Amino acid sequence: MVGRAHPTSIIPADWPKNYQEAVALQEQLRQQVRLIPLPHPPRFVAGADAICDRADEKIFGAIAVYSYPDLELVEEAGAADVCPFPYRTGLLSFREVPILAAAFARLKHRPDVLLVDGQGIAHPRGLGLAAHLGLVLDLPAIGVAKSRLVGQGEEPGAAAGAASPLILAGQVVGLILRTQKGRKPFYLSPGHKITLKECREIVMGCVRRYRSPEPLRHADSLSRRFRSTLWNPNGTRSDRGHDSRR
């Protein structure tokens, strides 16, 4: 089912517009991050991912919700709008949080945990995309990044589930986690309302045939599909929202 277009932008009026404003907000929000155990085992785990067009003008966000631990697709939702912030290292959340929050608002099933294609607290100011989005949604969030942004750590063993600590300024901020034997590892870090131990357990519990956790893999594919279908070839808006429930 394709949703109706919204008359106004999803970007908040007070959203940071430059580097200085964004960094100041990160410094403020990092104090609100809480790394605490989950209140109960998750029943629904979602993946969240966003992608911009080649002109870096439009952004497409997608969320896929799966049952856990059996990993059956329950629901998917997406949104599209203008890209609200230029690409800057360490400021990814200012591009992606509004569109992912808009996609999340279209869900009928509230996930217990959100897997995010980005950093959690393994970030120069302790507030990567997963931490920022977790705060905005008041939801446990895990950063599952393909590359390291900060910290040092040894390459984990070759076996699936092998991990080594990611250390920043003498503190463990995440794990370098190999999800499949012999494949490149992910850089895992808690975002909000979850512990590092739980992050590892849940991410490994979401891995099946592929290296990437299934909800996150689905969200990545979904965001690319939205990019190819929600905007007309001439660049005009064809729709701003999409949701599909199973």
> How far does Cα 243 stand from its chain's mean position?
18
Report whether pLDDT(7) > 60.
Answer: no
Rounded-to-integer distance, Cα 111 and Cα 85, Å: 27
At 170-208, the pLDDT tens digits run 999 999 999 999 899 999 999 999 999 999 999 999 999
User: Length of the chain, please?
Assistant: 246
Token couple for 152: 């040092």
Burial of 156 (0-12, 13-18, 19+ CB in 10 A): middle
Burial of 224 (0-12, 13-18, 19+ CB in 10 A): middle
Query: What is the rounded average pLDDT of the residues 106-116?
Result: 97
DSSP letters, 201-224, are: HHHHHT-SSSSS-HHHHHHHHHHH
Query: What is the rounded average pLDDT of the residues 26-51?
Result: 97
CB of 102 within 8 A of CB of 10?
yes
Sequence ranges of the domains in the chain = 39-233
User: pLDDT-based confidence at 231, cuts 50/70/90?
Assistant: low
User: pLDDT-based confidence at 230, cuts 50/70/90?
Assistant: low
Percent with pLDDT over 90 in the chain: 84
Helix 129-137 to helix 93-104 angle, to the nearest 10 degrees? Answer: 40
At 64-104, the pLDDT tens digits run 999 999 999 999 999 999 999 999 999 999 999 999 999 99
Q: 39-233: what CATH class? A: alpha beta
> Could you give the dihedral angle defined by the CA atoms of residues 108, 105, 133 and 44, in that order, rounded to the nearest 10 degrees?
0
